[in-house]
């Protein structure tokens, strides 16, 4: 099934629009003008979720067990690394690399979800999170109501990068 999903992504590249939509739910805590917690939850669209759940929930119990989670992280989530997980931490307009930690896949309301944390000594001043895919495979969706922030405030806005559209989260 992994090869079918990969083939699906390759075929979709022929067409200039995304075939997978991922809602991004940031949960962020700020203390003393620095991020103390940065947690992201991705909720995949219904069609992609249905296809992936059929394969990834190998025992068909309606939840992702540890063995399934480890497989998803290794074989599916890690494939987003070359794309910076469609998440760009920008400090003073420069992209700062990060490594997702505490990965967990779940099934919620018949949709596949990926959750992960990122750690770093990031201050909120001049830090922006951007979400998007320049290859048009995935549309990252960020809305104000998806964002939870404690200890600061932020603004969600669109980013028009000339050849693809994304979203950014700017802190105040």
pLDDT of 7 strictly over 60: no
Give me the number of domains the chain comprises.
1
pLDDT of 30 strictly over 70: yes
Token pair 């309606």 is at which residue? 62
Token pair 């980013």 is at which residue? 159
Domain span including residue 112: 2-171
Q: Give the Cα separation of 143 and 67 in Å (integer).
A: 32
Chain-wide mean pLDDT for the chain?
89
Tens-digit pLDDT profile for residues 52-68: 999 999 999 999 999 99
Q: Give the Cα separation of 35 and 123 in Å (integer).
A: 6
Q: Give the Cα separation of 16 and 87 in Å (integer).
A: 20
Tens-digit pLDDT profile for residues 32-55: 999 999 999 999 999 999 999 999
- CATH code of residue 150: 2.70.170
Q: What is the mean pLDDT of residues 122-135?
A: 89
β partners of residue 129 = 89, 169
Q: What is the mean pLDDT of residues 63-89?
A: 96
Q: List Cβ<8 Å contacts ≥24 apart for 73-77.
A: 73/103, 73/105, 75/2, 76/2, 76/5, 76/52, 77/103, 77/105, 77/114, 77/116
Angle between helices 2-12 and 46-56 (to 10 degrees): 150
């Amino acid at each position: 099934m992994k090869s079918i999903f990969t083939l699906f992504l390759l075929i979709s590249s022929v067409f200039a629009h995304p075939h997978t939509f991922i809602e991004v739910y940031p949960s962020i805590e700020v203390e003393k003008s620095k991020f103390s917690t940065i947690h992201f939850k991705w909720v995949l669209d219904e069609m992609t979720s249905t296809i992936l759940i059929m394969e990834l929930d190998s025992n068909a119990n309606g939840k992702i067990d540890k063995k399934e989670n480890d497989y998803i992280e290794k074989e599916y989530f890690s494939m987003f690394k070359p794309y910076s997980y469609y998440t760009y931490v920008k400090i003073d307009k420069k992209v700062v690399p990060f490594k997702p930690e505490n990965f967990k896949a779940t099934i919620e309301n018949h949709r596949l979800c990926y959750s992960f944390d990122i750690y770093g000594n990031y201050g909120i001043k001049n830090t922006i999170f951007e979400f998007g895919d320049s290859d048009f495979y995935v549309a990252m969706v960020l809305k104000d109501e998806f964002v939870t922030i404690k200890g600061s405030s932020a603004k969600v806005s669109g980013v028009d990068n000339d050849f693809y559209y994304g979203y950014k989260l700017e802190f105040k």
